[in-house]
Structure 1
Amino acid sequence: MLEETSLLVLFLILFFLLLFSAFFSSSETALMSLNRYRLRHLEQEGHRGAVIASQLLNRPDRLIGLILLGNNFVNILASAIATVIGIKLLGENGIVVATFALTLIVLLFAEVTPKTLAALHPERVAFPASYILKPMLFVLYPLVWFTNGITNRMVRLFGVSPEDAATSAINTEELRVALMEAGSLIPTRHKDMLMSILDLEKVTVNDAMVPRNEIEGLDINAPFQEIVKQLSHCGHTRLPVYEDSMDNIVGILHLRKALHLITQDNLNPETLNSIIKDAYFVPESTPLNTQLINFQRNRRRTGLVVDEYGDLLGLITLEDIFREIVGEFTADTIDDDKDIHPQSDGSYLINGTANIREINRNNDWSLPTEGPKTINGLVIEYLESIPDPGVSIRMDDYVIEVVQTADNAIKTVRIHHILEQHEEEPES
């Protein structure tokens, strides 16, 4: 029959077969290259093409079976027609010529080019193609079912089930990579906040707490006039209340309630005791994401951090956790005027009690945070002794010089970020 067909008709048939081959090749690449999370978003918005594409991808074994059936059929038929054309034009030598010519044409115009376009613009190809593939799957389902029945049995030999084709849930590290690759689609500020939320599980209460020596508390056994004066001038919302020392915690006092009593001229030892709330204690190793949930569950905003022996180590607040997420939003912690003093030579004078995590966040540094929490602790642990002024050490790209010591502790250090200073040096 093909031998009796004119060359013009054969060339037209071959042309359309190549178009179908390009269609099947590009459809496969486009559907498999779709961003599944964007696809799910478009599906939820009611995008018809996304809905059909998602239905097809729910069973990729059937989709691939359909595409390969169609692709192989048109390619084999195209090969037969090209052979007939070659014989008509060149005789028996036309078989070899047609084979090489068709291979090159299929490779360029039915494989590489359409698949490249589909990989670069999957949605533009996949959504229109899904309108064609869906009815084709319905019509050819018996044949697809037969071929899939054989291939699925073979796939199960490798411990894989086609029913498990649903996309697995994304884990934390994959979400972190997705955020980093989002580029300008997500504002940098929002991206940093989302990354900080993901990192909460890696940060413990001990990393973000206010150390014990920096806690402002209220001694309930102090003279009452001193208590009133302290309450009137306190800059905090809640105060730990203790008897004689921080080792004897009584509870937590909300300053607003105390000031309300003061304005009513009704503050006395009895009314003061009545508004003190029981203390809420937190283990030092609690991850911040867990503590955030605990604060919400217990309806608390302040917790006292204790070690395994029950000794008080510090204080953690809801604001401290928020600060880990959004960065500095108040001026009552580390700031240039208090703990960090930039110098004209590019170095920084930093108080020994400054928190390393806060320094890293403020200066975009990467000082080690696995061990001690303060610069004082970091240097002392490194040297295994209390150094004299003038001693310098180098940690990676940071040179830390001890400037001042007092009371068995480092009061001030000078830090040079070597890499940062080299980047700022002008080219000669």
Structure 2
Amino acid sequence: MSLLLPFVPLLIAMLVLMAGSAFCSASEAALFYLSRDDRKRFAQGTRAQKRVEQLLSEPERLLTSILFWNLMINILYFAIASRIDAVLRTQNHSDVASSFTLATLFGLILFGEMLPKNLAVLWPQSLSAMVSLPITAAMNVLRPILPTFLMVNRISLRTLLPNFEREPYLELRDIERAISISTPDKTLAQQEELVLHQIVWLSEMEAEELMRPRMGLTLYSAPVTLDDLRANPPNCDYLLVTESDSEEIERAMPLAQLPNVSSTHLESACERVPYVPWCASGAATLDLLRSTRSGLAVVINELGETIGIVTLDDVMHALFANPAVRQTSRAAAQSIEPLGDDVYKVNGAITLRRLSKQLKFELPLVKSVTIAGMLQEYLERIPEPGDEVLWGNCRFTVIDSPRPGVLTATVERLRDEQLPGDTAANGGAI
């Protein structure tokens, strides 16, 4: 050890550089280990947490900056170590020089890389907030030259790993053939084929067919407290808050987050919801939910009015639930049950577009979105059992209405000779 005493200043510098390398390694692990839920919470958190979310909004720039500074620190570290090694060898202390070089190498790997990263993944939330300010400063120093680094990175990626052109589409029969060839287990192949069928079916399905109609939702206007939820409990797994001057849904929050928020002004913990038109495909709706990192989207009609909501659970249910099971689950409230020739039993929550599309009925336009809304509009009161409405070329008969907004009815397609007067064009109540 006495041989290293003349190098004490250089050794202190190496320790400082090792600490800098450990900081870079821990920062990288903590920032990129944060989950989607962590980032959503950080976006509404403290100033440091918001800074973390801002850093992660530019992941390529962030990672390039951290790796650049880590590389510079490691180069300086080994440059000093090489200088000490060279001096020791000129003094004929080759054994000490070799041992010192190995010690510095393993020391940097252990204390500058492995240990900091292992500790960072244990407490990513607190550490990421702590390092956000110095990492932001480090990025700002490199900001003038970062575009050059990013361009070199893209050129190298395109040279070494060129992108393959995507096919414009893949036929379902090609997927089925690939599954049958690659999977000897017929039971498993049938399950995979079913899921793939439903994935393709999702691209053909409209958001309106996936949504939960607005009529069955509990909405709240700000300010919202826990007492409001106790007095009028939500009937879905989200707290839905409307705009201050209308009944349109503006914000939402999963009910699972209620234990983590204050009991008053719950709307402040809610996040703005994305909007999707009723005619958007299920695949487009899923893309919107993924890109916005939201669990819920509001479905609007042609006039921009809220007609329902689609949650991520609804989309996943449509993808992975067996069609036979799907008709007996939550969606059973919107099922269409055939009773005979051109006679069907329907639930009032079914949208009119879905009824027209699925049964190929030609129905006139109406302001209401659901069957229950249309019946109430024509009757000009709450529908009751026994009420009949002729709408288009169909007769709707209410058979059960246990409470307002919830009803079961039959719909019968009538032949032209069964239609009285001009009811086929305008519709009306009997």
Q: TM-score, normalised by structure 2?
A: 0.41
Q: TM-score, normalised by structure 1?
A: 0.41
Structure whose alpha-carbon radius of gyration is higher: 1
